[in-house]
């Protein structure tokens, strides 16, 4: 009987209380525990002579205790233990805070290994709270590569490390081998047992690298196979091919001509729609690249072929805006369009629903919520989801259940690199609008500190005097969520009362009811306010061409892609527009990140930068991004492994015989568990 799935409770040192703590970290079984990987490692292998210790560089050294440790009781709650240690090259004084046991454990005249960080100033050098072990004891805290685990209150690194080792002792031999021998041989990957052993207690950095590579490969391989299985399940679905898919007729009703990129994407959509299979396509395009026109053309294709189409937006106001801007294009084409949102009156909704059910309307524009609710369509053949980056794989799967396998088109304003898109949206085909319509102005972007506050306020006033409007985005809603963050509520009030008493300041944030939010947004769009103080609720889509200035408070708190989205809220009219990023954070990485945004207007380049600095989990500055959380794999640094794993996944799936081999059984079992029919990966 496998002990892998035994509870951690039965390990030594883990009682009921600690088991609860572990559970809160997602660790219930021994398998969970050994799959809880270190987040970093400390190199304690290098032993240096005292004379070569460097300030601020943690290191190990071997030394004799050359003074009897003395405990000084400074005051209640503060005891200092001081002693001197020496080797052939020099002497060093050590200080321990509140570790009186040190006096008994470090004996005069005996030799120990220490690990710590040298500190120094004009008074001399010293070390505080080093860890130590007798020279004849096995190296646990010195002379080795130390795993550093992600921690939670009440669980320290030593506890995790010890229990992991205990668990490995019990079940190392039982870890299922998910990568059969030929695959491991081909990519020179170690076996599962070695990988688990080395990732927790590496013998060397080379061994650690090997362990990690193997686990990353496994993780990406499983994910790729799973996603492809989802995708093939979907592409088996058929629909009669649509006909007569020439965009020329559509272009005639537009006040502009399509860009080359828009045309290319439209033809990709057309070839899906005429293929006889159900379309599953994502269109990525930077803010302002003209995704709406592409969506409209696709809708027209469907309607021309006697189908209904639905366009879903994440908010009511965006749905309304789409309906308003689509109407003049669609009406001349004979497409009947209706809006369907929660804020419509019951009678309006009833009318709209009747018109939908009897196919008196062809294109339905509404919120995701309403359209995915029980709305009876007559012949729904195409569903378009706008601003898709807010939805994960699971939501897409749910969407496909709507209607009789409608064609699906998702529009995302967050352009992401192709390799990442393959992982994220491996179940979708991807089109990219990689060109902006001609004559787009770039939004001038500035990074400023608090010292510029007065000048920026004058600038806001100047915009208002010229009849233009300003967005001010704050990271928090209320004061005190965290002490140092600007809160929208308080800031709006301060600005209105103390800074701009003569201007009209409005407030919108995510905790307002959506009707309330929409009302404020509508009023702002109509020009009833000069300044809108907001949280990131305004990130998506609302078009206010008269807004020329975007100010972001605590800009360092946002992801670059998110800032780019926010910046996309201005520069939509003809007037020169500006974006001002406030930060008083002096971290060089943070400044580099924000400066990259100032110099760059290309969403792709920005998301690449974001990815390489913050990792994919933060790409959208939101946890709902639908990104899979990889335990070991890093989508930026492990690209080669990702590509290999994807190639092997494809080979595995296209083979008749491989999936039937017994050595692949554990893998298939694992994928089933992770990608069961009703739980899409997320």
The site for ligand ADP (CB under 6 A) is made up of: 256, 258-259, 262, 285, 287-293, 413, 437
Nearest residue (CB) to Mg ion, 216 versus 258 = 258
Task: Pick one of ligand ADP, Mg ion, none as the site partner of residue 290 (Cβ within 5 to 8 A by kind).
Answer: ligand ADP
Q: What is the size of the binding site for Mg ion (CB under 5 A)?
A: 1
Task: Pick one of Mg ion, ligand ADP, none as the site partner of residue 527 (Cβ within 5 to 8 A by kind).
Answer: none
Instruction: Name the minimum Å distance from CB 294 to Mg ion.
Output: 10
Task: Pick one of Mg ion, ligand ADP, none as the site partner of residue 259 (Cβ within 5 to 8 A by kind).
Answer: ligand ADP
Nearest residue (CB) to ligand ADP, 142 versus 412 = 412
- Alpha-carbon span 329 to 325, nearest angstrom: 8
Instruction: Name the minimum Å distance from CB 557 to ligand ADP.
Output: 24
Instruction: Name the minimum Å distance from CB 541 to Mg ion.
Output: 5
Instruction: Name the minimum Å distance from CB 330 to Mg ion.
Output: 16
Q: What is the DSSP string of 487-516?
A: BHHHHHHHIIIII-TTS-EEEE-TTS-HHH
Instruction: Name the minimum Å distance from CB 256 to ligand ADP.
Output: 4
Instruction: Name the minimum Å distance from CB 248 to ligand ADP.
Output: 15
Task: Pick one of ligand ADP, Mg ion, none as the site partner of residue 202 (Cβ within 5 to 8 A by kind).
Answer: none
Give the residue at shortest CB distance from Mg ion. Answer: 291
Nearest residue (CB) to ligand ADP, 49 versus 527 = 527
Q: Quick one: which H or E segment has residue 431?
A: strand 429-433
DSSP 8-class letter at 348: H
Q: Quick one: which H or E segment has residue 330?
A: helix 316-330
Nearest residue (CB) to ligand ADP, 285 versus 616 = 285
Nearest residue (CB) to ligand ADP, 259 versus 601 = 259
Task: Pick one of Mg ion, ligand ADP, none as the site partner of residue 289 (Cβ within 5 to 8 A by kind).
Answer: ligand ADP
Nearest residue (CB) to Mg ion, 320 versus 553 = 320
**SS3 per-residue string spanning 598-648:** HHCCCHHHHHHHHHHHHCHHHCCCCHHHCCCCCCCCCCCCCHHHHHHHHHH
Nearest residue (CB) to ligand ADP, 33 versus 413 = 413
Task: Pick one of Mg ion, ligand ADP, none as the site partner of residue 256 (Cβ within 5 to 8 A by kind).
Answer: ligand ADP
Give the residue at shortest CB distance from ligand ADP. Answer: 290
Which residues make beta-bridge pairs with 518?
none
Task: Pick one of ligand ADP, Mg ion, none as the site partner of residue 258 (Cβ within 5 to 8 A by kind).
Answer: ligand ADP
Instruction: Name the minimum Å distance from CB 289 to ligand ADP.
Output: 4
Nearest residue (CB) to Mg ion, 389 versus 557 = 389
Task: Pick one of ligand ADP, Mg ion, none as the site partner of residue 298 (Cβ within 5 to 8 A by kind).
Answer: none
Task: Pick one of Mg ion, ligand ADP, none as the site partner of residue 224 (Cβ within 5 to 8 A by kind).
Answer: none
Nearest residue (CB) to ligand ADP, 293 versus 507 = 293
- Alpha-carbon span 374 to 385, nearest angstrom: 17
Please give the residues from 277 up to 306 whose contact with Mg ion meets the rule CB under 5 A.
291
Instruction: Name the minimum Å distance from CB 569 to Mg ion.
Output: 12
Task: Pick one of Mg ion, ligand ADP, none as the site partner of residue 69 (Cβ within 5 to 8 A by kind).
Answer: none
| Cβ proximity of 655 and 369 under 8 Å | no
Contacts of 450 (CB under 8 A, 6+ apart): 582, 584
- Alpha-carbon span 120 to 54, nearest angstrom: 9
**SS3 per-residue string spanning 5-51:** CCEHHHCCCCCHHHHHHHHHCCCCEHHHHHCCCCCEEEECCCECCHH
* Residue 186 vs residues 181, 214, 270, 281: alpha-carbon distances, Å: 9, 12, 41, 34
Other beta carbons less than 10 A from residue 543's beta carbon: 18
Task: Pick one of ligand ADP, Mg ion, none as the site partner of residue 437 (Cβ within 5 to 8 A by kind).
Answer: ligand ADP
The number of helix segments (H) and strand segments (E) in the chain equals 23, 23
Instruction: Name the minimum Å distance from CB 292 to Mg ion.
Output: 5
Q: Quick one: which H or E segment has residue 579?
A: strand 578-582
Nearest residue (CB) to ligand ADP, 201 versus 296 = 296
Nearest residue (CB) to Mg ion, 35 versus 412 = 412
| Cβ proximity of 164 and 146 under 8 Å | no
| Cβ proximity of 524 and 466 under 8 Å | no
Instruction: Name the minimum Å distance from CB 567 to ligand ADP.
Output: 12
Q: What is the DSSP string of 126-183?
A: EEES-EEEETTS--SSSSSEEEE---BTTB-HHHHHHHHHHHHHHHGGGS---S-HHH
From 680, 556, 656, 565, select the one nearest 614 (Cα to Cα).
556
Instruction: Name the minimum Å distance from CB 305 to ligand ADP.
Output: 23
- What residues line the site for Mg ion (CB under 5 A)? 291
């Amino acid at each position: 009987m496998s002990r892998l799935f035994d509870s951690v409770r039965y390990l030594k040192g883990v009682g009921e209380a600690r088991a609860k703590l572990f559970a809160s970290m997602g660790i219930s079984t021994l398998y969970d525990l050994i799959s809880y990987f270190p987040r970093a490692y400390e190199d304690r292998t290098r032993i240096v002579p005292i004379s070569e210790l460097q300030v601020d560089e943690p290191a190990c050294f071997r030394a004799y205790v050359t003074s009897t440790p003395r405990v000084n009781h400074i005051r209640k709650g503060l005891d200092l233990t001081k002693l001197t240690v020496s080797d052939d090259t020099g002497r060093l004084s050590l200080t321990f805070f509140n570790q009186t046991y040190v006096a008994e454990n470090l004996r005069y005249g005996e030799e120990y290994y220490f690990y710590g960080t040298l500190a120094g100033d004009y008074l001399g050098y010293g070390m505080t709270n080093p860890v130590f072990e007798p020279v004849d004891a096995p190296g646990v805290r010195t002379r080795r590569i130390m795993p550093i685990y992600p921690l939670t209150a009440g669980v320290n690194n030593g506890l995790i490390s010890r229990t992991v080792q205990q668990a490995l002792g019990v079940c190392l031999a039982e870890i299922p081998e998910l990568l059969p021998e030929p695959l491991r041989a081909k990519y020179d990957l170690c076996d599962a047992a070695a990988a688990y052993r080395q990732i927790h207690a590496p013998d060397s950095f080379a061994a650690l690298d090997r362990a990690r590579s193997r686990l990353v490969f496994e993780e990406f391989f499983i994910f790729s196979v799973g996603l492809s299985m989802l995708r093939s399940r979907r592409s088996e679905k058929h629909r009669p091919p649509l006909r007569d898919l020439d965009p020329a007729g559509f272009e005639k009703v537009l006040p502009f001509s399509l860009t080359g990129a828009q045309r290319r994407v439209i033809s990709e959509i057309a070839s899906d729609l005429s293929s006889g299979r159900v379309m599953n396509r994502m269109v990525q395009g930077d803010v302002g690249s003209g995704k709406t026109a592409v969506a409209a053309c696709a809708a027209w294709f469907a309607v021309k072929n006697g189908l209904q189409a639905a366009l879903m937006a994440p908010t009511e106001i965006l749905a309304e805006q789409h309906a308003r801007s689509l109407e003049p294009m669609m009406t001349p084409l004979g497409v009947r369009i209706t809006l369907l949102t929660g804020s419509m009156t019951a009678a309006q909704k009833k009318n709209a629903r009747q018109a939908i059910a009897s196919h008196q309307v062809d294109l339905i524009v509404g919120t995701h919520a309403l359209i995915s609710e029980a709305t009876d369509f007559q012949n729904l053949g195409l569903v378009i989801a706008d601003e898709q980056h807010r939805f994960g794989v699971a939501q897409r799967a749910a969407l496909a259940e709507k209607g009789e396998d409608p064609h699906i088109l998702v529009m995302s304003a967050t352009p992401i690199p192709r390799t990442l898109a393959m992982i994220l949206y491996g179940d979708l085909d991807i089109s990219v609008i990689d060109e902006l319509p001609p004559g787009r102005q770039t939004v001038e972007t500035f990074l400023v500190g608090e010292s510029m506050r007065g000048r920026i306020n004058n600038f806001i006033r100047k915009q208002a005097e010229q009849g233009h409007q300003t967005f001010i985005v704050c990271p928090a809603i209320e004061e005190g969520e965290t002490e140092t963050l600007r809160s929208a509520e308080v800031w709006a009030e301060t600005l209105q009362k103390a800074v701009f008493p003569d201007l009209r300041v409005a407030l919108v944030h995510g905790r307002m009811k959506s009707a309330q939010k929409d009302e404020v947004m509508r009023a702002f769009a109509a020009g009833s306010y000069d300044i809108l103080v907001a949280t990131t609720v305004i990130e998506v889509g609302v078009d206010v061409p008269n807004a020329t200035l975007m100010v972001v408070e605590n800009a360092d708190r946002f992801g670059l892609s998110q800032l780019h989205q926010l910046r996309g809220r201005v520069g939509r009219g003809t007037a020169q527009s500006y974006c001002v990023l406030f930060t008083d954070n002096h971290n060089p990485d943070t400044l580099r990140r924000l400066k990259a945004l100032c110099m760059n207007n290309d969403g792709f380049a920005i998301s690449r930068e974001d990815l390489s600095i913050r990792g994919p989990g933060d790409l959208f500055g939101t946890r709902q991004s639908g990104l899979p959380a990889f335990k070991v794999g890093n989508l930026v640094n492990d690209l080669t492994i990702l590509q290999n794993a994807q190639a092997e996944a494809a080979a595995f799936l296209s083979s008749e015989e491989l999936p039937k081999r017994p050595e692949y059984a554990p893998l298939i079992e694992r994928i089933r568990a992770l990608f069961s029919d009703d739980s899409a990966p997320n």
